[in-house]
Structure 1
Amino acid sequence: MAGRVFAEAIVAYDKKDDVDAVYENPYPENTIEHDLFRKNLIDNIQWHLEDIIRDPDIDPKEALVIKRRIDKSNQDRTDLVERIDSYFLTKYSDICPKADATINTESPAWAIDRLSILKLKIHNMNLATKRTDTSEETRSQCRQKLAVLLEQDMDLSGAIDTLLKDIEEGRKYMKVYKQMKMYNDPNLNPVLLDKKNK
């Protein structure tokens, strides 16, 4: 399901192709599909902001504004991943793990986060294979990279499906740790704390 919703979000972004545009989420709020659509949209807009900020001729003031947007986007992304994990925690709350159940190295939502980024890599690498303003050598390299990304997509999608099935059947259990990013907290970031105390 996540892959399908991510594909829909990518198409929605491409129709406007504008980091400042408003994008309508076609799914009802408080559904997993709504959160997945929003997740990929956040990633897609940030992807393009990262392109823009790398312009060597960018005005430093504009670059700072974009950097602040990227920082906020990263926090929004983290908050949304934790919200998606809450969905899975609720969904599997009645599952009783087996005595020998193990924990995964990452939660379902963080794996889905990686899948969202991977879908964007595939989409943009595919576009790069069709550009007419690059050399055939560059396009050939992009085709090779695209093949690897598509293989990664199959592997990661399969691994996510396996993880969810293992949780459903009690072979794995979920344990979620909040990110607790310190640099966004005015009480923990030393620079912000110093300014606050002056």
Structure 2
Amino acid sequence: MSFTVTANAIFLEVINKYHVINTVDQSFSNPYIENDQLIEHLLFRKCWIDTVQWHYEDIIRDPEIDPVAALTLKRQIDASNQDRTDMVEYIDSYFLKKYAHITPKPSAKINSESPAWAIDRLSILALKIYHMDEEARRPDATEAHKQACKKKLDVLLEQRIDLSTAIEELLLDIENGDKYMKVYKQMKMYNDDELNPVLRGQK
């Protein structure tokens, strides 16, 4: 089974599991064993973070939201964004370790994004597909709305094929030494007490 077949299946598993209760406050449990040699637990956790944040973003756009609740939710979104970035780096660390024994060819090139950031886009794409499909079948929607969403869904499904193919090719290129991984930490400044002048000024 190819990597992206596994990843897409886990992403769908996550999204379906979330929607059983369908609340951002539900508890999280990972059915996959944490193991440095396996990536499934990282993929599950990554998509769970994305799924909860997807619904945070829906909630905060409520024009009637209480300002105090909105500020609390903004803090939750900030924390979720940091968790998302951390998970991307964990996934890249998995691939760095997996391919550590590979010696890149002299002609090897670097990719514009790491495997994990491409996987990040694949996870978000799974959420877009799920919710666009939901809209295309919504019983109380107009036929025009459903048809418009069906067209968008077709594009998203095609995009998933293309992105999955690109990820498979990237991993194969790294494995064959035709491309090499070079990962940069995100170095976000606004969460750092020393780098954000507003936070630094409150010390």
| TM-score tier after normalising by the smaller chain length | over 0.9
Do structure 1's residue 87 and structure 2's residue 94 form an aligned pair? yes
Q: Which amino acid aligns with 1:99?
A: P
2:29 corresponds to 1:24: yes
- State the partner residue of 1:57: 64
Residue in 2 that maps onto 1:104:
111
More displaced stretch, 20-29 vs 146-155: 20-29
Q: Does 1:135 align with 2:139?
A: no
Q: 1:149 aligns with which of 152, 156, 178?
A: 156
Q: State the partner residue of 1:2.
A: 7
Aligned to 1:159: 166
Deviation, 1:10, is 1.0
Q: How many angstroms apart in 2 are the aligned matches of 1:184 and 1:194?
A: 13
Structure 1's consecutive aligned runs of 4 or more residues displaced over 4 angstroms after TM superposition are none
Candidates 100, 117, 125, aligned match of 1:118: 125
Contact 1:13 1:23 in 2 (8 A): no
Aligned to 1:36: 43
Compute the TM-score of the two structures, normalised by the length of structure 1.
Answer: 0.97
Q: Please say if 1:72 is aligned against 2:79.
A: yes
* Cα deviation code 1:28-55 (max 9, x no counterpart): 1234111100000000000001001100
Deviation of 1:195 after TM superposition, in Å, equals 1.0
Provide the C-alpha distance between the structure 2 equivalents of 1:130 and 1:189, rounded to a whole number of angstroms: 46
Number of aligned residue pairs:
196
Once the two structures are TM-superposed, the CA of residue 132 in structure 1 deviates from its matched residue by: 2.2
CA RMSD of aligned residues (A): 0.8
Whole-angstrom CA distance in 2 between matches of 1:133 and 1:75: 37
Q: Percent identity?
A: 62
Query: What do the CA deviations read for 1:136-162 (whole angstroms, capped 9, x no partner)?
Result: 111111001000000000000000000
Tell me the secondary structure at the aligned position of residue 35 of structure 1: helix
Q: Which runs of 5+ in 1 are unaligned?
A: none
Shift in Å, 1:111: 0.3
Secondary structure class of the residue paired with 2:127: helix
**Partner of residue 3, structure 2:** none
Are 2:20 and 1:15 equivalent residues in the alignment? yes
Q: Quote the Cα distance in structure 2 between the aligned partners of 1:24 and 1:192.
A: 34
Q: Kindly state the Cα deviation for residue 134 of structure 1 after the two structures are TM-superposed.
A: 2.2
